[in-house]
Amino acid sequence: MARRIDNRNQKNHSVTILGEGLTEQYYFTHIRTLFGYHYTIKPYYFSVTSLVEMDKKIAEAITDGGFAIAVFDADVAHRNEAEKKKLESIRRKYANKRNVVLCDSLTSIEYWFLLHFENTNRHFKDSAATENELRKHIPEYEKKAKFLQELKWVSNLSSERKLELAKTRAKFFGEVGESYSNVYKAFELLDKLKQIGQETTKR
């Protein structure tokens, strides 16, 4: 279920997206260009090295009443008990905060991309295995700036209703199964805020 937004209490609809690295940074930069969303993307918010650091940057992003969308991989937390407890702690902390959206993916954000092509939540050994599967559909895919900075790969992901399919599949699977992605929740929030902005403009 998409989270509800209380317009009366939410004074600031500014959104900050933060993540672990270049892939998330470039992906959401291109998404903003393609769909006209309004949010902040800065390299500073994409240098997260741990869940503890992510928690700190989420707190920073919502200080003035804005929204924070945290995009990160859950593979380490899945195989490491200490990291799993940190993730569970962060989820509890923000469970009832409507201005924080946690968009984790297991094994990695590449699984989110894969959902644009495949209806699956099967097991992937690690992020490398997920990337290898994704290359069946995007042969040139690689986690390097030379590839990621090009708009075309995200434009292709978003074409022919592939993005809508990915959202539907991710939401249907939830976190039941060997792989999951909560990135669809970012789009639910962004679409809701975009709608609010459009309605406000019409008044």
Residue 201 has pLDDT above 80, yes or no: no
**Higher local confidence (pLDDT), 106 or 47:** 106
**Higher local confidence (pLDDT), 2 or 181:** 181
CA distance 161 to 105: 21
Per-range mean pLDDT, top range of 47-61, 84-98, 152-166: 152-166
Which residue, 64, 139, 77, 65, is CA-closest to 106?
Answer: 77
Exposed / middle / buried, residue 90 (Cβ in 10 Å: 0-12, 13-18, 19+): buried
Name the band, by pLDDT with cuts 50, 70 and 90, for residue 165: very high
φ/ψ of residue 71, rounded to 5? -115, 120
Residue 160 has pLDDT above 90, yes or no: yes
Alpha-helical segments (H) within 11-126: 22-35, 51-61, 75-79, 81-94, 109-114
CA distance 97 to 160: 34
